[in-house]
Amino acid sequence: MDCPRWLPLESNPEVMTKFVSSLGMKSTWQFGDVYGLDPELLSMVPRPVCAVLLLFPVTEKYEAFKLEEEEKLKDQRQQVSPDVYFIKQTIGNACGTIGLIHAVANNEAQLDFEPDSPLKKFIEQTTKMTPEERAAFLEKDESIRVTHETSAQEGQTEAPSLDEKVNLHFIAFVKVGEQLYELDGRKPFPIVHGKTSKETFLEDAVEVCKIFMARDPQEVRFTIIALSKDSY
């Protein structure tokens, strides 16, 4: 059976903020661009930051690294907190929505929601499920699918067709406990990137983003977006 396909979301903070807002998340936290990686530009990002999204090109180099990393981590078991919310991606082009779910679900306690929020309801209903069960549940969630489709058509660039191959991918970075996690629905499990703190989270996540960029130095198609408390 073919996996379902959605239209890809644009890496546009306004579209993302509107997306989660349409699903009942209050705008006390908002998505905004990270314009550069040096300390001066990072200092312009409103704090605190509770999640970082990275959009990057899926290249041959990256796919080779991904396979290598998976093999290595199967042998060296990581210590992943049971509190990490991780969902697999089984829907084509849904990586933007998966990234947003990862960002929100792992910060649910500090975010604010409307009483009938479909996003909060989805997180609560799937909290005890496996990553695979959550993926199957998302495939059947009409409110999230419809909001995704609407948001995908609201960006500044024309949305590609459903069948067009998109080789850009979203992943999320979050802090759970005192650890920095990379959450990518195409990977079999979360990736632990070491210790972090509320104060250094953005800088720590950006250091991992720099590794992605260094892997493909010819590429320029990288976008970093932060979920921050203060309004942009």
Please give the pLDDT value at position 231: 55
- Two tokens at 132? 């695979």
Range from 3-7, 103-107, 164-168 carrying the lowest mean pLDDT: 164-168
| Residue linked to tokens 């792992």 | 106
pTM score of the predicted model: 0.94
pLDDT tier for residue 106 given thresholds of 50, 70 and 90: very high
Predicted pLDDT at 57: 94
pLDDT for residue 24: 98
* Three-state secondary-structure class, residue 19: helix
pLDDT of residue 74: 87
Spatial separation of the C-alpha atoms in residues 36 and 33, rounded to whole Å: 9
Percent of the chain, pLDDT > 70? 93
Residue ranges of alpha helices (H) inside 26-94 are 39-42, 60-75
For residue 211, the SS3 value is helix
Q: Among all residues, which ones are annotated catalytic?
A: 95, 169
Which tokens sit at 208?
């991992």
**pLDDT confidence of residue 36:** 94
How far is CA 202 from its chain centroid? 14
Q: Give the pLDDT confidence score for residue 177 in this predicted structure.
A: 97
10 — pLDDT class (breaks 50, 70, 90): confident
How far apart, in whole angstroms, are the C-alpha atoms of residue 9 and residue 166? 11
**What confidence tens digit (pLDDT) does each residue in 156-207 have?**
565 555 455 558 999 999 999 999 999 999 999 999 999 999 999 999 999 9
User: How would you class 60 by CB atoms within 10 Å of its CB: exposed for 0-12, middle for 13-18, buried for 19 or more?
Assistant: exposed
Q: How far apart are CA 189 and CA 183, in angstroms?
A: 8
In this predicted model, what pLDDT tens digit does every residue of 121-156 receive, in sequence order? 999 999 999 999 999 999 999 999 999 999 988 875
Asked whether 227 and 103 are in contact (CB, 8 A), the reply is: yes
The overall average pLDDT reported for the chain is 92
- Residue 207: the pLDDT is 98
Cβ-contact 168, 57 below 8 angstroms: yes
8 A C-beta contact, residue 88 and residue 132: yes
Helix axes 95-105, 131-139, angle to 10 degrees: 120
